[in-house]
Amino acid sequence: MDFENLPESVTVVEEGEKRFFLVGTAHVSLESVEDVRRTVEIVRPDSICVELCPARHQAMTRRDDWKRMDIYKVIKEGKAVFLMVQLVLQAFYRKIGDKLGVQPGAEMMEGVRLAGETGATLVLADRDVQVTLKRVWGYLGFWKKLQLMSQLLTSIFVDDDVDKALIEDLKKKDQLAAIMGSFAENFPQIKERLIDERDIYLAQKIRKAPGTNIVAVVGAGHVPGMQKYFGQEIDLAPLEELPPPSRWGAFWKWGLPGFFVALLVIGFFRGGADASMDALSIWVLVTGIGAALGSLAAFGHPLTVLSSFLAAPITTLHPLIAAGWVAGLVQAWVKKPTVSDLEELPMSVMTVKGFWINPVSRILLVVIFANLGATIGVFVSGSWIASRVF
């Protein structure tokens, strides 16, 4: 085998009789697609591994699945935020890809295509994207979650100048190390779940690929970390576990209703029934107005805004229901998305205007903003009531 003719992006790792050819790619690069093609042609591998999980593979190979998305199910299962994050990330990569003339993940799809063409075993080596997102989200504190959401949303709204040279520069390991270092400084929990854990996961899955010559198509940022885990047997089960419910989450679900009831009781003994009624009125008005303003900010239907106002005082005290869920379901009912809306969703979310115009993304915005408004209302009304009682 002529190793000298392998692309510069390829790192060769040997383990026993096996050879692994790690093609470090940029996810939006025509050069990366060609690197994959050349490597497979030279190596003639027994297996081709790609940095995809079954869900992402299905999303890339069966793009019509958007048409079958059940928005009601997404809201009821509390997955609106996760769907929004996926849309924002997809829009960000698509935005770069449109400038470079190559769609995100083209090098992964080239690996999939070549596996079918050459008869090599296709290995989907990445961890399930939902598990990754839930582990990232579940281990973040409240303020870090807000910070992350703001940065993700900003990334789609800011039109940075991106060119081919910049993307290819990202394939240089020293620059990637610097980028990862900065990322870890701002969000160390995210880097651990999003990068470090998947380095382990990818390396172990690739090690188990059948055959002696294996080509693995992975993001260049994973290659240095993955190399450390070849030759090691690591149990992947802990990396697939979902994070336990946070203590703060349990407090908000169960402690908040108890706290409010306690304030009403204390207010009654200190100021009588009038004081309790005043406290109840403050809670109803402030949480209701907060959720209604959130729905209004998302351009929700008037019935959606009204439902937000009526639902928030109750849902903020109910551990299993959220004001945004009620508002989202009402918005989906009065402005039911069509198949065309679902088809246009990936393109719509590439612009600020598109986020608010597309009925599907508007429903997600209603869910998020109504919940945010109700949460702010809880803090404001709770502080107001406590100051009056004490």
Between 153 and 237, whose confidence is greater? 237
pLDDT band for 66, please (50, 70, 90 cuts): low
DSSP 251: I
CA end-to-end span of the chain, whole Å?
80
φ and ψ at residue 255, rounded to 5 degrees: -75, -35
User: What's the alpha-carbon Rg for the chain, to the nearest Å?
Assistant: 25
- Asked which of 240, 267, 293 is the last residue of a domain, the reply is 240
Instruction: State which amino acid sits at residue 195.
Output: I
Sequence-ordered alpha helix ranges (H) in the chain: 30-43, 54-61, 71-76, 80-100, 106-118, 129-138, 142-157, 164-169, 173-186, 188-191, 197-207, 223-227, 247-250, 256-271, 273-297, 302-315, 323-334, 339-348, 352-357, 359-389
> Do 359 and 318 belong to one domain?
yes
pLDDT band for 194, please (50, 70, 90 cuts): confident
The two three-digit tokens of residue 169, written as one number: 């520069």
DSSP 236: -
The percent of residues above 70 in pLDDT, for the chain, comes to: 76
φ and ψ at residue 339, rounded to 5 degrees: -60, -40
> Do 206 and 89 belong to one domain?
yes
* Helix then strand then coil, % of the chain, to nearest 5: 70, 5, 25
The two three-digit tokens of residue 56, written as one number: 């992402």
Q: DSSP E strands: which ranges in the chain? A: 10-15, 18-25, 47-50, 121-124, 213-219
> Do 251 and 371 belong to one domain?
yes
The two three-digit tokens of residue 322, written as one number: 């959220």
SS (H, E, C) 92-134: HHHHHHHHHCCCCCHHHHHHHHHHHHHCCEEEECCCCHHHHHH
Q: Are 304 and 311 in contact (CB under 8 A)?
A: no
Rounded distance, CA 325 to CA 303, Å? Answer: 14
> Do 155 and 12 belong to one domain?
yes
Cβ atoms within 10 Å of 107's Cβ, excluding its own: 28
Interval 99-131: pLDDT, tens = 656 667 788 999 999 999 999 999 999 999 889
> Do 273 and 326 belong to one domain?
yes
Interval 127-175: pLDDT, tens = 998 898 888 877 777 677 777 666 665 655 554 555 555 555 554 444 4
Q: Are 56 and 129 in contact (CB under 8 A)?
A: yes
The two three-digit tokens of residue 377, written as one number: 């209302």
Rounded distance, CA 78 to CA 76, Å? Answer: 5
- Asked which of 203, 224, 240 is the last residue of a domain, the reply is 240
DSSP 238: G
> Do 236 and 265 belong to one domain?
no
Domain region containing 285: 247-389
The two three-digit tokens of residue 193, written as one number: 């779940």
> Do 361 and 263 belong to one domain?
yes
Residue 73, pLDDT above cutoff 70: yes
Q: What is the pLDDT of residue 347?
A: 73
> Do 235 and 252 belong to one domain?
no
Look at strands 18-25 and 10-15 and give their pairing: antiparallel
> Do 195 and 298 belong to one domain?
no
Q: Are 321 and 315 in contact (CB under 8 A)?
A: yes
Pick from 162, 147, 183: which is nearest to 95 by CA? Answer: 162
> Do 226 and 344 belong to one domain?
no
Contacts of 55 (CB under 8 A, 6+ apart): 128, 129, 130
> Do 162 and 92 belong to one domain?
yes
- Asked which of 220, 240, 260 is the last residue of a domain, the reply is 240
3-state secondary structure of 84: helix
Instruction: Report the mean per-residue pLDDT for the chain.
Output: 81
Between 12 and 347, whose confidence is greater? 12
Q: What is the pLDDT of residue 175?
A: 41
Residue 24, pLDDT above cutoff 50: yes
Q: What is the pLDDT of residue 180?
A: 46
Number of compact structural domains in the chain:
2
Cβ atoms within 10 Å of 258's Cβ, excluding its own: 11
| Range with the poorest average pLDDT among 93-97, 114-118, 191-195 | 93-97
> Do 268 and 364 belong to one domain?
yes
